[in-house]
Amino acid sequence: MIGLSGIHKRFGDNLVLRGVDLGISEGHVTALIGPSGSGKSTLLRIANLLEIPDAGAIEIGNHRLVFEKGVRPPQADILAIRRQTGMVFQNFQLFPHRSVVANVMEGLVTVWKWPAEKARRHAMELLEKVGMANKAEAWPATLSGGQQQRVAIARAIAASPTLLLCDEPTSALDPELAAEVVEVLSALAAEGMTMLMATHDLRLADRIAHQVAYLEDGEIVEQGPPDQMFRHPSDARTVRFVRTLTGATESR
């Protein structure tokens, strides 16, 4: 089990997360849904300590960190958590000056100190997995958005993370390109990759998530399996939000 417990985060006068508790079973996919500003992306960034919470605790694998306001954990402890996570960003965040294969190799060589030849072989295997091996020497700028996101996924899983974090992985893509990314994430989920994703894509969450959590105003309002959350939610706030997503999907 991967756990975030009692997570609080404030930016100035804005209390973004209010004591969030979330457990993620290994081999399962948890989807975070909720309106913009509800705290989904902040919670993801806290899971790999791109943001440091003001209070609470994070447990991934054999590492557990407890946070206190104004006290920054030792850098070694932060890195120990980060090394167990991979991150897929909304806008890809590929290095524009490096080829596709070099993007996937980068972390293996610079962080994990793999020999370049070994890193390249592994990178090519991952590019094959996501259907991008034929673009290994291409520059990111020459790729479609869906292709860039598939490369970003290969990069995120290169070091075999315990937890894959996905921040709105399809929101920057049109429906056809989003479908390519959904296929890749579905395949990873079928292989047992543990994932935590923030998404407005109801189809993605419904297809691959084992658990869905609805956030509003920095709190988890309701959580449960997709069928419950999307078809039989019990809280009026969840009902209202899912209805807006369903309406948007049906209108396209």
Predicted confidence band at 252 (pLDDT cuts at 50, 70, 90)? very low
Say whether pLDDT at 42 is over 70.
yes
Tens of pLDDT, residue by residue over 155-185, are: 999 999 999 999 999 988 988 889 999 999 9
Q: Which residues of 164-197 are buried (b: 16+ CB within 10 A; e: fewer)?
A: bbbbbbbebbeeebbebbbebbeebbeeebbbbb
Say whether pLDDT at 245 is over 90.
no
Sheet holding 219-224, edge to edge: 85-88, 163-167, 195-198, 29-33, 211-216, 219-224
Say whether pLDDT at 62 is over 60.
yes
Question: Where are the chain's structural domains?
Answer: 2-84+163-251, 93-160
The reported pLDDT for the residue numbered 225 is 97
Please state, for a pLDDT cut of 70, what percent of the chain lies above it.
Answer: 98
User: Mean pLDDT in the chain?
Assistant: 94
Q: For domain 2-84+163-251, say whether CATH 3.40.50.300 is its number.
A: yes
Section 57-82 average pLDDT: 93
From residue 187, give the alpha-carbon distance in Å to each of 137, 208, 218.
24, 9, 31
End-to-end CA distance of the chain: 38
Q: What are phi and psi of 221, to 5 degrees?
A: -80, -40
Section 195-210 average pLDDT: 92
The reported pLDDT for the residue numbered 230 is 93
The reported pLDDT for the residue numbered 34 is 94
The pair of structure tokens assigned to 9 is 């985060």
The reported pLDDT for the residue numbered 206 is 92
Say whether pLDDT at 202 is over 90.
no
The reported pLDDT for the residue numbered 247 is 66
Tens of pLDDT, residue by residue over 12-41, are: 999 999 999 999 999 999 999 999 999 999
Section 209-227 average pLDDT: 96
The reported pLDDT for the residue numbered 134 is 97
Q: What is the pTM of this model?
A: 0.93
The reported pLDDT for the residue numbered 251 is 43
The reported pLDDT for the residue numbered 234 is 95
